């Protein structure tokens, strides 16, 4: 016994060793990855504070070169991931585009670093950095993604950039630089933009419906929150504290945030676990705030468009509003088309759900709905409605002797024959279950129902569907008739079912109504 257990014990031990080695390797890779992230984040401050010490002179512009390089690397990283399926492509591409505009703005600022003030165009690029991100936040999956929609959105973004320039153009001096008295207000405008972007992405994060969307918005939301804080410290802390050292530390923060974004993109590139949270309010808010935010952006950027802009400002503002209206119309048209397609799909599902899969006629669910409707009409119009309960005679024996395939074929044939005897569009036939069928005859008294029942008996009998153990070696049916007299649905069906049993007890291949049993069709001349 010990010898038999030995190999199995060794195999289990080896498997445990392999699993342990795999876990250790995975843990080691994770540790090395985080060490790499830490090293990447340490490089910029080491260069910023160490290089001037090495060369022996102050390098105040170095922080801005590092910002430019870090933002360029982050933009390239985001652009690379936007070409893969790792993240939501639209979101990460808009992030790359926004960072690209930020890089242009910083490059413009560095190119004019010998001046005391920044060119107004520099601020336009910095503000425009948020426009692609704003678009990513408001463009939900509930909106169309057609080529025409992309053209409209692209035109709107361009017009918003032009509005941004026109809105701040009056803040520049004769050389194109921002007047110093407006700098605090521009800094506050940057803070407001960053907070708005963070809040918009936070809502989209809470409203995420799948793992990739959640991972994409989580990554960008964390970055935007860190950037909003770093930007606010960079723009205000030196003026508030008057400390050069604190200002130098604040200058290093944006660079660290851009490097942190690179780490975030790399660390979140692989899918993880995701559980859909029950945040209906967030999904509704995300779907509804898009029109409001875009309109607010147009309004905010148009506030600075004054009469000094002349006709150009009015034309750009009018085009922006027109483009926005076209976007809203596109969305409404798409929603209407989606609603119509959904209604058609639901109607198709409803039709399928009300049909019997085997025979193609309505099923019991459809019958119960039709019965309630016919009884309401009967009571309202004071007219009778008759129900016929129909059963294929000796069908269990037929199935046992001929097989289920022949049984299914017989049921389909009987359903077709019974339906063919109905003359009026309002007459209704359904498969009640198994080998039973049911017919509703509105505005039909008992004598009229007997005529229909007799026609059904004869139609099935004369079709001569072969059945060696049936009456005259053929398939036949028995029918029970009930006519409403202030009966509810259950009472009408019960009376028809009782009449059916009387028809079977009377010899089958016939019908029964009230207390009388009619003679079978087989004995008719």
Residues marked as catalytic: 435
- What is the DSSP code (8-state) at residue 523? G
- Residue tagged 């119509």 (tokens): 340
Strand blocks (E) in 407-466: 428-433, 436-442
Tokens describing residue 420: 């063919």
Cβ atoms of 456 and 418 within 8 Å: the answer is yes
Residues 224, 430: Cα–Cα separation, whole Å? 62
> What percent of the chain is helix, strand and coil (3-state, nearest 5)?
70, 10, 20
The CA radius of gyration of the chain, in Å to the nearest whole number, is 39
The pairing of strands 436-442 and 516-517 is: unpaired
Residues 209, 428: Cα–Cα separation, whole Å? 45
Residues 238, 413: Cα–Cα separation, whole Å? 91
Residues 467, 473: Cα–Cα separation, whole Å? 5
Cβ atoms of 294 and 327 within 8 Å: the answer is yes
Tokens describing residue 51: 């290089």
């Amino acid at each position: 016994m010990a010898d038999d257990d030995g190999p199995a014990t060794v195999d289990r031990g080896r498997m445990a060793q392999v699993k342990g080695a795999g876990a250790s390797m995975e843990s080691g890779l994770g540790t090395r990855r985080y060490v790499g992230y830490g090293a990447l984040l340490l490089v910029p401050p080491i260069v910023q504070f160490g290089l001037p010490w090495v060369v022996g002179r102050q390098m105040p512009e170095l922080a801005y070169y590092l910002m430019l390089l870090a933002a360029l690397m982050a933009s390239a990283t985001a652009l690379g991931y936007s070409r893969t399926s790792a993240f939501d492509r639209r979101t990460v591409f808009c992030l790359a585009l926004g960072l690209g505009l930020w890089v242009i703005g910083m490059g413009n600022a560095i190119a004019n670093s010998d001046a005391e003030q920044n060119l107004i165009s520099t601020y336009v690029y910095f503000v425009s950095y948020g426009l692609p991100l704003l678009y990513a936040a408001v463009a939900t999956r509930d909106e169309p993604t057609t080529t025409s929609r992309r053209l409209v959105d692209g035109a709107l973004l361009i017009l918003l950039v032009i509005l941004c320039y026109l809105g701040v153009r009056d803040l520049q001096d004769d050389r194109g630089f921002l007047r110093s008295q407006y700098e605090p207000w521009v800094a506050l405008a940057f803070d407001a933009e960053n907070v708005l972007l963070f809040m918009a992405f936070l809502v989209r994060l809470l409203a995420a419906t799948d793992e990739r969307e959640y991972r994409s918005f989580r990554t960008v939301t964390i970055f935007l929150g860190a950037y909003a804080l770093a930007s606010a410290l960079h723009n205000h802390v030196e003026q508030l504290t008057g400390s050069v050292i604190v200002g130098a530390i604040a200058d290093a923060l944006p660079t660290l945030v851009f490097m942190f974004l690179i780490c975030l993109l790399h660390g979140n590139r692989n899918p993880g676990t995701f559980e859909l949270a029950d945040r209906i309010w967030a999904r509704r808010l995300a779907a509804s705030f898009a029109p409001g935010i875009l309109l607010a952006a147009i309004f905010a950027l148009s506030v600075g468009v004054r009469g000094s802009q002349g006709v150009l400002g009015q034309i750009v503002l009018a085009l922006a509003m027109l483009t926005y209206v076209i976007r809203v119309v596109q969305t409404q048209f798409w929603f209407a088309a989606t609603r119509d397609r959904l209604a058609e799909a639901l109607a198709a599902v409803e039709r399928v759900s009300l049909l019997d899969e085997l025979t193609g006629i309505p099923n019991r669910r459809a019958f119960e709905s039709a019965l309630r409707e016919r009884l309401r009409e009967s009571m309202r119009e004071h007219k009778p409605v008759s129900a016929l309960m129909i059963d294929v005679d000796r069908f269990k024996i037929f199935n046992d002797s001929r097989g289920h395939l022949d049984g299914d074929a017989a049921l389909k044939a009987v359903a077709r024959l019974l339906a063919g005897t109905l003359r009026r569009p309002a007459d209704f036939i359904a498969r009640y279950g198994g080998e039973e069928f049911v017919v509703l005859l509105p505005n039909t008294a008992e004598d009229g129902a007997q005529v229909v029942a007799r026609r059904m008996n004869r139609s099935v009998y004369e079709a001569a569907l072969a059945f060696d153990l049936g009456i005259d070696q053929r398939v036949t049916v028995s029918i029970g008739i009930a006519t409403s007299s202030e009966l509810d649905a259950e009472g009408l069906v019960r009376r028809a079912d009782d009449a059916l049993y009387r028809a079977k007890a009377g010899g089958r291949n016939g019908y029964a109504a009230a207390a009388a049993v009619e003679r079978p069709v087989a004995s008719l001349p």
